[in-house]
Amino acid sequence: MKTAFGILTLAVATLLCGQLAAAGLDVAGAQSQVDALFNRQYPQLEALYRDLHQHPELAFEETRTAGKLAGEMRALGFEVTEGVGRTGLVALLRNGKGPTVMVRTELDGLPVQEESGLPYASRDRVQYNGAETPTMHACGHDVHMAAWVGTARTLAAMKDRWQGTLMFIAQPAEERVSGAKAMLEDGLFQRFPKPDLGFALHTMPHAWDQILYRGGPMTSNASGLAIHFHGRGGHGSNPSTTIDPVLMASRFVVDVQGVVSREKDPAAFGVVTIGAIQGGSAGNIIPDNVIVRGTVRSFSDDVHARLHDGIRRTANSVATMAGAPAPAITLDNGVKSVINDEALAARTGALFSQAFGAKALLMPAAWSGGEDYSEFVAAGVPSLYFGIGIYDPVRVAETRAAGTSLPANHSPQFAPDDPRPTLRTGVMALSLAVLDALR
Ligand SMILES: [Zn+2]
Ligand SMILES: [Zn+2]
């Protein structure tokens, strides 16, 4: 009975595997080939990674970085165009008839003083807002660039296993959520082929063997707010002769949270954070003006519109209560949520599960971070934007058990424990995803 059941199970399993192999990519075969190519190129890749890590450049100033990537891609036989969207670049590799698949990396670092303690930590400084500022790849864009080059090298060496066009793009100024738009406005999808599909990855404070993905919203709608409350200044001892903008700003900061808790669906994600208040010079002087700055986050346009509406009403009401002129309210368009294509997420997600097992995680909810990859999606490129981890899984487990957390993106300590496993995960995931799309 036991044996017969075993044979039956084996027969069913063989049948299923046969169907999968016929319908899809030979994942195990592709995986071992990608691994062999990765191991062969690793010393070169690590040298590139370290170089990029040591020399981060800020938004729209990534000329050295873009030059490095252009050199790498030309050496692989890609046709490279530089200066797309100011400092961006586009690299094409045509390999017969078939779809065009886009793979994006970002180029820019952040004005952060690195505190990773790594021997190859960045010591670079640049002029930023009129002051000398340290720079760091505190968002892992150096990892993304190395994984992007590693994937390009892998796919160039596996040309017999895919057909179509690779369109590798390196985008400037992701941290200012303006580089994607700059590339599109520079004719990205007119001067170059419009991709049929797109992929991008982002590092996250998770284990280095982990993949995180989902269909639908992946990142948040994010917009900035600035409100200038106009009062009438005077002596702190004589408030009745003044209109106090500090009181208006204080009321606004507290009352605007009522918009979040009362006016949107409590089950829907939405955040209003006031991160800066500027006004006044001394404790006994009521100033003329106070400026309040913040950020608004949501996953849906409807929630975002409600939050914007509530912010406007609250700011105006606070001024009316004080008998002050209407405040100047600036709510920018910010950046839209990256919406992953459901079908592509299901197909590539199944592939990730085969390749990474339980380490490929279907995320229950989107991230609250903003990302301008959404511009490419809005321009009509069905995409999968997914996450990879950077930390030693043992360290992740220990931190979780201790109830604490590891440094997240933009922290001065955000850097891979060891670039090799992180880059292996990135190169493997991107290579398999592209091979599957162009098989
Ligand atoms: Zn970032
Ligand atoms: Zn980033």
217-258 pLDDT, tens digit each: 999 999 999 999 999 999 999 999 999 999 999 999 999 999
- Distance, CA 387 to ligand 2 centroid (Å)? 11
Q: Give the residue carrying structure tokens 């592209």.
A: 434
Domain with CATH 3.40.630.10 in the chain: 27-219+337-437
Integer Cα distance of 343 and 186 in angstroms? 30
Ligand at shortest distance from the CA of 138: 1
- Which residues are 102's β-sheet partners? 167, 198
Of the candidates 148, 302, 143, the residue with the CA atom closest to the CA atom of residue 217: 302
Of the candidates 194, 173, 201, the residue with the CA atom closest to the CA atom of residue 92: 194
pLDDT of residue 130: 87
- Distance, CA 264 to ligand 2 centroid (Å)? 28
- Distance, CA 140 to ligand 2 centroid (Å)? 7
- Distance, CA 140 to ligand 1 centroid (Å)? 8
Ligand at shortest distance from the CA of 203: 2
pLDDT of residue 23: 54
- Distance, CA 107 to ligand 2 centroid (Å)? 9
Helices 419-437, 27-54: inter-axial angle, 10-degree rounding: 130
- Distance, CA 397 to ligand 2 centroid (Å)? 24
Q: Which fold has domain 221-331?
A: Alpha-Beta Plaits (3.30.70)
- Distance, CA 397 to ligand 1 centroid (Å)? 24
- Distance, CA 103 to ligand 1 centroid (Å)? 18
Characterise 389 by phi-psi region: left (phi > 0), alpha (psi -120 to 50), beta (else): beta
Domain with CATH 3.30.70.360 in the chain: 221-331
CA 426 → CA 133, 190, 261, 382, 390, distances in Å?
30, 29, 39, 20, 10
Ligand at shortest distance from the CA of 112: 1
Tell me the residue type at 18: G
CATH code of domain 27-219+337-437: 3.40.630.10
User: 431: which 2 tokens?
Assistant: 């290579």
Neighbours of 326 (CB within 10 A): 11
CB burial readout 342-351, b (16+ within 10 A) else e: eebbebbbeb
- Distance, CA 384 to ligand 1 centroid (Å)? 18
- Distance, CA 139 to ligand 2 centroid (Å)? 5
Give per-residue pLDDT as tens, 17-58: 433 433 578 999 999 999 999 999 999 999 999 999 999 999
- Distance, CA 409 to ligand 1 centroid (Å)? 6
User: 374: which 2 tokens?
Assistant: 């959404």
Ligand at shortest distance from the CA of 202: 2
- Distance, CA 347 to ligand 1 centroid (Å)? 28
pLDDT of residue 10: 41
pLDDT of residue 436: 97
Of the candidates 242, 237, 254, 273, the residue with the CA atom closest to the CA atom of residue 318: 254
Neighbours of 128 (CB within 10 A): 14
- Distance, CA 373 to ligand 2 centroid (Å)? 10
> Within the chain, which residues score under 50 in pLDDT?
1-22
- Distance, CA 393 to ligand 1 centroid (Å)? 23
Name the residues around ion ligand 2, CB cutoff 5 A.
Answer: 139
Ligand at shortest distance from the CA of 409: 1
Ligand at shortest distance from the CA of 142: 2
- Distance, CA 105 to ligand 2 centroid (Å)? 9
